[in-house]
Amino acid sequence: MITINSHKQRHLFDPWVYLSPKRRKLLDESWAGLFQKQILLTLPAKTIASYFDKSMGRPTKELHTALGVLVLQQTFNLTDLETVEQFAFNIQWHYALNIPEESDSAKYMCPKTLWNMRIVVTENNLDEKIFTDATQKLIDTFKVDPSQQRIDSTHIKSNMRRLGRICIFSSGIHKFLVNLKRGHEESFQKIDSKIINTYLSKKDLGCFSRVKPSDSHKTLNEVSKDLFDLVQQFKNCDEIKNMHSYKQLERILKEQCNLTGADDNPVELKTPKDIPSDSLQNPSDSDATYSGHKGQGYQVQIMETFCSQEEEKRLNLLTYVEVEPAHESDAHGLIPGVESVKKRNLLPEELLADSLYGSDENCQRAKECSVELISPLMGAPKTEGLCLSDFTFTEEGCIISCPQGHNPVKIKMKNGRITVAFDSKSCQKCPHLSQCPVKEGKKFHYLRYSDKELRIAHRRAYEKTTQFQDRYRWRAGIEGTMSEYKRRTGVGKLRVRGLKAVRFCAVLKALAINIFRATAFLKAKQAKELCDSAIASAKIQIILFFKELFSAVKLFFIKVDNPNNRYCPIHIYFGTDFLRVHHHLI
């Protein structure tokens, strides 16, 4: 049975009247007030209702409330038990979720219900819908400008222990033996007792953590042979081959070893550089991969809006979040982000990114979507000699003259390449011939280049300009966003494992950043309005005071202390929003 309340329906009497005015004001100005007014109604209660039966089973928790609890759990980085306690007793949570009543059905949720609801959201990718719908609501409410955005990635880790190669082998064998003993007792009895005694007990398994560095290669050879023997022993048993733990053994063997086929030494360990970056890093989290720059785990692609006008105070929000394995290159993360924001009508006019995103292919594909990608090129630019960008070009990309002012004799275009011929007599007299990219041919001196090389040359030249530096300096701001993302939500080290669970946490924690930012922006806006109102009120009171004081007399004299004992009149001028007092000596 499904329970959904209409939070749009107004109450005849205010259900929060028992709160004192000051406490009510604090709630309205906090994240709780923003969540109730802007986020709660965007949660996909009707979508998740389709995964429950309308007539069978016990009534569900109110679905807006259940989804809101999942969001708040990730917002404040709480365990399941801590979440249940906060939901039961925290008045901010009650206000945010619009629960004024005091019944257990309204303000209590058991950990199993929380766990089941999280599974439904995770397995059906509803976390992305929660993020996009809520973010879109904030963008519409606060009129966020998406024309300027920036993108970057950050590394995060799931709840897994960092393992070396020996531990990867031994942990994989241990997991297989445990599962085999539970499900296939007869097959388990056929395994060599030495292997069982070595790998089955966690106490005995701990001996591998105390291996000396000098003995590590020998130990690694031994555990690799034991793993190979287990794989060979059950390779013809279909029931066991379908076990997840057996498939992990096969994966470890394939990624870490080479099969020699020799009887005395059938397994040969691969060198570390030959092991693929997407290899199994931990048997408990098969989705985690390895980045040579940041280590094991996952990476999150983040896109956010920004404002390049320092005098303007605007709200900046995260518009795109995507979780990837750690070995994925940032070069592949740009276009999916552009296409995602395009579907939601949040396409930026300019997008700032670091050099990993700035390939020529990404620039061209972004341009097709009407997005200008501002990113430096990879590699160091050429510092000596002349380059292609030193020549003078037409708008179509054809050369008009060389750096010395000589015009080309002829130009030929074929298969995407351009060949420009210069008079050999002029080139041979050129003092920069040794540094020029023009090469001597049979009849002429030739310069050959492609459209891609021309685009890269122009980008190299543009990077040296102050205009590029002034535009690109705003990219550094996303580093602060990554710090805030990890510091405020705890996304750097999660409590879960697996790509789906990691994505669920990372996406909802990104929504938490948007909620925090919108709350801070709203507070600052209200404080400014209050200050402006107070100043305007003070001006009006001053003007009214002087109008009443001098309504009868427009001019009076005061005696001043001066050598001539003269008088100084003060003229009072009344304006609409100011008051001027002019002193005139007479």
DSSP state of 54: S
Q: What is d(CA 446, CA 438) in angstroms, rounded to the nearest whole number?
A: 5
Please state the domain count of the chain. Answer: 4
Q: By mean pLDDT, which of 446-450, 460-464, 543-547 is the weakest? A: 543-547
Question: CA 323 → CA 63, 129, 500, 514, distances in Å?
Answer: 26, 15, 9, 18
3 and 73 in one domain? Answer: yes
Residues 34 and 119 in one domain: yes
CA 51, 52, 55, 60 dihedral sign is: negative
Among 252, 274, 296, the domain boundary falls at 274
Distance CA 21, CA 32 (A): 16
Q: Which residue has the tokens 């709630």?
A: 27
The pLDDT score that the predictor gives to residue 556 is 44
pTM of the model: 0.81
DSSP bridge pairs for 48: none
CA 189 to chain centre: 50
Tell which of 64, 96, 124 closes a domain. 124
Claim to verify: residue 20 and residue 110 sit in the same structural domain: yes
d(CA 84, CA 112) in angstroms, rounded, equals 10
Is 299 part of any domain? no
Domain final residue pick, 62, 91, 124: 124
User: pLDDT over 90 for what percent of the chain?
Assistant: 40
322: left (phi over 0), alpha (psi -120 to 50) or beta: beta
Kindly indicate the confidence band of residue 212, based on its pLDDT and cuts at 50, 70 and 90: low
Query: Which pLDDT does position 10 carry in this prediction?
Result: 75
Same domain, 115 and 175: no
Residues spanned by the domain of 578: 550-583
Specify the pairing of strand 148-156 against strand 295-305: antiparallel
Evaluate whether residue 160 is within a structural domain: no
CA 41 vs CA 47, 49, 175, 341, 546: distances in Å: 13, 15, 45, 22, 52
- Strand 267-269 to strand 350-352: parallel, antiparallel, or no bridges (unpaired)? unpaired
- Note whether 3 and 112 are same-domain residues: yes
Q: Look at residue 576 in the predicted model and tell me its pLDDT.
A: 43
Q: Comparing 22 with 406, which gets the higher pLDDT?
A: 22
For 521, other C-beta atoms within 10 Å of its C-beta total 19
3-state SS, residue 496: coil
199 shares a domain with 95: no
What integer is the mean pLDDT of 357-380? Answer: 90
Does 506 fall in a domain? no
Residue 163 pLDDT exceeds 80: no
Query: With 90 as the cut, is the pLDDT of residue 452 above it?
Result: no
Residue 586 · residue 566 · CB < 8 Å: yes
Q: Which of 15-19, 167-171, 403-407 is the least confident region?
A: 403-407
Average pLDDT over residues 429-452: 78
